[in-house]
Amino acid sequence: MDYKTRIKELREILEYNSKLYYDMDAPTMSDYEYDHLLRELEDLEAAHPEEITPDSPTQHVGGSASNSFAPVQHEVPLESLQDVFSADEVAEFDRRVREQLSDVEYSVEPKVDGLSVAIEYRDGKFVRGATRGDGRTGEDVTENIRTIASLPMALPERLPHLIVRGEVYMAKSVFAELNAEREITGEPLFANPRNAAAGSLRQQDPKIAAQRKLDVVIFNLQLADGKTFLRHTDTLDYMREQGFPTIPYLRTGDLDAVNAEIVRLNEDRAELPFDMDGSVVKLNSLSDRDVLGSTSKVPRWAIAYKYPPEQKPSKLLDIVVQVGRTGVLTPKAVVEPVRLAGTTVTNATLHNQDFITEKDIRIGDTVIVQKAGEIIPEIVRVDFDKRPEGVQPYRLPETCPVCGAKVERDEDGVAMRCTGAECPAQLLRYLEHFTSREAMDIDGVGPAVLRQMVEAGLVQTAADLYKLTVKDIAQLDRMGLKSAQNAVYAIEKSKQNDLSRLICGLGIRQIGAKAARTLAQYFGSFDALERASVEELTAIDDVGAITAKFLRDWLESPQSQDLIRRLREAGVNMECHDKPMDDRFAGQTFVLTGSLTRLTRDEATEMIQQRGGKASGSVSKKTTYVVAGEAAGSKLTKAQELGIPVLTEDEFLAMLGGDASERAPEDAQISLL
């Protein structure tokens, strides 16, 4: 491959993975691999400077500002750092510095793997927080930054203007708890604490950010109006005095001490509360920094020493298959104990069948193990030179190891999934969905209560909910007599729900609330639905061939049939009473935005659907009307740009015939943004 082709290839790879890392918080490439590819591109461009372009990844900071948040122009740019990978490169950095400076002192600090932010104070009070973005323009995440408990909201010294730079991170212990909770609720797991922190800080709802228990460590003073400092470490001491959680540092002018500290930090990284991927070596004198200056991308007075992931060989003793809360089969490697990143590893993730097949992993192999993001042990590769004779390729089982039901591969992914409706491994997640608002809407029976019910052996299937007594529920923690009575009443009341809610609550793949309503209204009863063929199902609008197959397979499963039988015996309604009032909105799509005063989102959506229409969450050329309440946002703007008719609340109610005017109190104001 000629150098021009390789440069083009490297730029495409790096830009794509930079977007995944900075903008989508979903990297697929390790930091170490990315950094080495970037170094290769830098070397090629240095050898062929005529190939350097302004948009090359070597010429700009990764990341961009999302338009989901207001842009912030950084008063002081948030620069990146030049990466180095060896003691020789550290020595070369020191040599370049000493060519221009005679008396040199460095600080050595851990490089926290999180999301870089600028935090601003006016007259000693916190006023704004922004992500780095591309280094010059970031995102305004003030309300989410405000939820970080360790960050002071007011400072002892009230400088007119102060900006500090820090790294928002998620502590390793918090990360482990968050992933455990997400597994229970069936949400995708975060790959590492950095992804979790970045995704949390970019939440539109600050309450979610607060629940994630983010933390921050401050590592640089960007601007201090009215204060002067001689050294970087003096600024760290000052910020610590002001109440900031600051980065630990070592002050030294000796290159041997710098290298020793880099080694020590690597050895002790497992003991730190945050994830780190390197050490930062900085010139300590602020005036000397001005002498050296910066390139278009990085300062000449600092480097980041990047640690390679620690990898060790181990023998693969077995592969154990676990069934997650959503029925996904996850293979786990059992390996001979090996010490990695400060802990003893005995298990490693294998992700899925495709991962095992691609790497040709077999029981009995010698495998190379590392910790992904320094947290999750994973198998990197097989040492084929040490493969024993006779070891066989591994395949995931065709039946669920927990309940024995058939296992199917997702049509649109790599997951293998148990199809059992009564699989114990999926029970808690299944119950949470069954009782949720869009399904059976059983108020007062939330995840915490359901977990206690399962742990106490009170519930093995959704049908068991209808056997519970006040006495059963009252024995649970924090469930007094009144709460237990309310829960039993809500469970009993749910028996009268329309068939569409039951179908939704059954958790059949690809059948949510919308498809469930369509099926209920089309067939009228569960008996009729049970008799429907795949051909009959696919003839219905919004029911494709894949959905029809999932539904038929579910209906024919012995576990599903047992569940339906028990629900019938409990007295759960199996008939559809929610027939469309008329078809005046047939073929029309509505989008709701802004704040309405007489309807909730669910009520307005239901009224549209009862008249044959559809309610969508986004505006497109296919949208028929946009219903705009007070303070309507970007959806209204897009509708106007596309020339889509916009209705006021009164005009929408008039189209409904005025029959919704008394559905909610006059003083109610429901946001539909």
Q: What are phi and psi of 317, to 5 degrees?
A: -85, -35
Q: How many CB atoms lie within 10 A of CB 261?
A: 21
By three-state DSSP, how is residue 669 classified? coil
Two tokens, residue 419 = 């199809």
Cα(412)–Cα(422) distance, integer angstroms: 24
Two tokens, residue 190 = 């975060």
CA distances from 358 to 169, 322, 385, 450, 667 (A): 33, 20, 17, 39, 60
Cα(191)–Cα(213) distance, integer angstroms: 17
Cα(397)–Cα(331) distance, integer angstroms: 10
DSSP 72-128: EE-SS-----EEE-SHHHHHHHHHHHHHH-SS--EEEEEEE-SEEEEEEEETTEEEE
| Length reported for the chain | 673
Whether the Cβ atoms of residue 409 and residue 415 lie closer than 8 Å to each other: yes
Cα(189)–Cα(187) distance, integer angstroms: 6
Whether the Cβ atoms of residue 631 and residue 589 lie closer than 8 Å to each other: no
One of 111, 282, 371, 614 is an active-site residue; which one? 111
Based on the residue annotation, tell me whether 482 is a catalytic residue of this protein. Answer: no
Cβ partners under 8 Å of residue 344, min gap 6: 337, 338
Two tokens, residue 488 = 């039993």
Two tokens, residue 141 = 């995440």
In the chain, the amino acid numbered 188 is P
Cα(280)–Cα(106) distance, integer angstroms: 10
CA atoms within 13 A on the CB side of 178: 25
DSSP 532: -
Active site residues: 111
